[in-house]
């Protein structure tokens, strides 16, 4: 028996058409399709329709026209069942089907005044192409045309004219969606029946005490995470400013936040994910499989009208059991040899890489052979992760696609986690040098390079 509130997907069937026709006017107005059109659509070999059910009841449906350039024909969720993740799950299913049949791109039209739907599609990597005036009839509403590139083969670009073969390191929607969550999706998840733990990880070098901001206002139900105390061990010259915490201490903190085995977790901050990514990486390293970063952080949450609550949130202690080494790490020796095997990325600001300034650590400069790739360049003007195509191009320009081994470091292993997340969002695995520059520069025996060009000797 299907339990009440259980969300699931299945193929849309002719037996569903009575429900479909009852929902159609509510979802799409007087321009809705007729039963005859739907009956014809379900019989066509070049169509793929999926139904969303809640507790066994059909509450939404979506359709795809397949082909080299696939098109989403329809997607909708019944009033009263929205903001529960149905739309995102159906969209993911259609995207996956389009990829399975070899489509090179996926198109859709969305109402120009439906900002929530546009945010959902942008979160999946869709790019606006233009506006069709008066597309939706009879009301004459405008539509925004959006496109999602599905082919993983790239034309001439920063790495030359050779075509890149499809593999796990290319831009992949499903991979991006496992790293990032949009504010609209988070809103739907919080309104749904499934357990979700939200963590507030506000922190910066200039203002490490994020708790006062958390108390003043945070996403409802969020737990505060102290980066210095919860996500790092005691600092030292030998280990760096933010070494990995003891696993037992991290497990104790995770249980304090109310995490159980199998829980989904969303982490956020107000700095484009640059501190939240440390929690994302560390919890993934400790064995949690479903951890995502809120793309755009609190700014994105406010943009969709998300409310804030103040004060502490009390939760029942969780029972999660953590284990180490589920994410790849690098030590100082790995960082030293990485340029010979692959690429070593320095995620700090370019002036720190060049040795022009060093506000925190013992020596200025960078690890010989490292390439400058500042974390800030992972983000757009709205402090969201750049679209997958742009991230792919950015990392191609520093040699990532050609590298067999990618190692990333920053000042102390915090913002480098953001770079690892950006790489993971396009399917590129990377190792985090956890000690980073704070550990490297504290040892006078280790060489230091300066200037903007990588030095190899």
* Whole-prediction pTM: 0.65
Unique residue bearing structure tokens 């790995």:
334
Q: Which of 3.90.1150.10, 1.10.287.130, 3.40.250.10, 3.30.420.40 is the CATH number of 329-440?
A: 3.40.250.10
Per-residue pLDDT of the chain (457 residues; tens, 9 = 90+): 333 345 678 999 999 999 999 888 877 765 568 888 889 999 999 999 999 887 788 989 999 999 888 999 989 888 777 655 678 888 888 998 998 888 989 999 998 888 778 877 887 888 888 888 887 777 778 888 999 988 543 333 332 223 223 333 333 456 788 899 999 999 989 988 888 999 999 998 778 888 999 999 999 999 999 999 999 999 998 999 999 999 999 999 999 999 999 899 999 999 999 999 999 999 999 999 899 999 999 999 999 999 999 999 999 999 999 999 999 999 999 999 999 989 999 999 999 999 999 999 999 999 999 999 999 999 999 999 999 889 999 999 998 977 778 999 999 999 999 999 999 998 889 999 999 999 999 999 999 999 987 754 4
Q: What pLDDT, on a 0 to 100 scale, did the predictor assign at position 157? A: 32
Q: Which of 3.40.630.30, 3.40.50.300, 3.30.70.260, 3.30.450.20 is the CATH number of 7-151?
A: 3.40.630.30
Q: What pLDDT, on a 0 to 100 scale, did the predictor assign at position 83? A: 54
Residues forming the active site = 410
Q: Residue 309, Cβ neighbours under 10 Å: how many?
A: 11
Domain with CATH 3.40.630.30 in the chain: 7-151
d(CA 309, CA 190): 14
Q: What pLDDT, on a 0 to 100 scale, did the predictor assign at position 80? A: 72
d(CA 200, CA 195): 17
Contact 209, 200 (CB under 8 A): no
**Helix axes 415-424 and 276-285, enclosed angle (nearest 10):** 70
d(CA 153, CA 171): 10
Pairing of strands 291-294, 343-346: unpaired
Fold of 184-303: Oxidized Rhodanese; domain 1 (3.40.250)
Q: What pLDDT, on a 0 to 100 scale, did the predictor assign at position 84? A: 58
Q: What pLDDT, on a 0 to 100 scale, did the predictor assign at position 156? A: 31
Domain with CATH 3.40.250.10 in the chain: 184-303, 329-440
d(CA 334, CA 383): 31
Q: What pLDDT, on a 0 to 100 scale, did the predictor assign at position 221? A: 95
Q: What pLDDT, on a 0 to 100 scale, did the predictor assign at position 168? A: 34
Output the CA torsion sign for 9, 15, 17, 23: negative
d(CA 108, CA 63): 11
Q: What pLDDT, on a 0 to 100 scale, did the predictor assign at position 209? A: 86
């Amino acid at each position: 028996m299907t339990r009440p509130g259980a969300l699931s997907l299945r193929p849309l069937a002719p037996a569903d058409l009575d429900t479909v026709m009852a929902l159609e006017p509510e979802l799409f107005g007087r321009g809705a399709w007729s039963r005859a059109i739907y009956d014809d659509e379900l019989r066509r070999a070049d169509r793929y329709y999926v139904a969303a059910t809640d507790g066994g009841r059909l509450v939404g449906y979506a359709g795809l026209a397949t082909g080299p350039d696939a098109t989403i024909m329809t997607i909708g969720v019944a009033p009263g069942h929205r903001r529960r993740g149905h739309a995102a799950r159906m969209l993911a299913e259609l995207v996956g089907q389009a990829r399975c049949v070899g489509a090179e791109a996926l198109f859709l039209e969305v109402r120009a005044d439906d900002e929530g739907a546009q945010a959902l599609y942008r979160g999946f990597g869709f790019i606006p192409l233009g506006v069709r005036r008066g597309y939706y009839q009879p009301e004459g509403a405008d539509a925004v045309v959006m496109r999602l590139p599905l082919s993983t083969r790239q034309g001439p670009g920063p790495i030359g004219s050779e075509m890149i073969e499809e593999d796990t390191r290319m831009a992949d929607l499903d991979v991006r969606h496992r790293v990032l969550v949009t504010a609209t999706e988070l809103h739907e998840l919080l309104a749904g029946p499934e357990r979700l733990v939200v963590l507030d990880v506000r922190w910066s070098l200039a203002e490490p005490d994020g708790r006062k901001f958390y108390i003043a206002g945070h996403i409802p139900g969020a737990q505060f995470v102290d980066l210095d105390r919860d996500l790092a061990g005691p600092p030292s010259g030998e280990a760096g400013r933010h070494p990995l915490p003891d696993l037992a201490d991290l497990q104790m903190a995770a249980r304090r936040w109310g995490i159980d085995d199998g829980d989904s977790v969303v982490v956020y901050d107000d700095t484009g994910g640059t501190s939240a990514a440390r929690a994302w990486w560390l919890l993934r390293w400790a064995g949690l499989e479903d951890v995502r970063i809120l793309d755009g952080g609190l700014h994105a949450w406010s943009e969709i009208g998300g409310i804030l609550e103040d004060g502490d949130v009390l939760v029942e202690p969780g029972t999660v059991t953590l284990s180490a080494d589920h994410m790849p790490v690098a030590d100082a020796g790995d960082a030293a040899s990485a340029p010979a095997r692959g690429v070593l990325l320095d995620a700090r600001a370019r002036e720190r890489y060049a040795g022009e300034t060093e506000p925190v650590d013992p020596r200025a400069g960078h690890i010989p052979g490292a390439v400058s790739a500042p974390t800030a360049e992972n983000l757009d003007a709205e402090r969201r992760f750049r679209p997958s195509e742009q991230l792919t191009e950015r990392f191609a320009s520093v040699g990532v696609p050609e590298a067999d081994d990618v190692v990333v470091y920053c000042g102390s292993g915090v913002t480098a986690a953001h770079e690892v997340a950006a790489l993971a969002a396009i399917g590129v695995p990377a190792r985090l040098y956890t000690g980073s520059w704070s550990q490297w520069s504290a040892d006078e025996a280790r060489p230091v390079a300066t200037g903007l060009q990588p030095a190899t000797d």
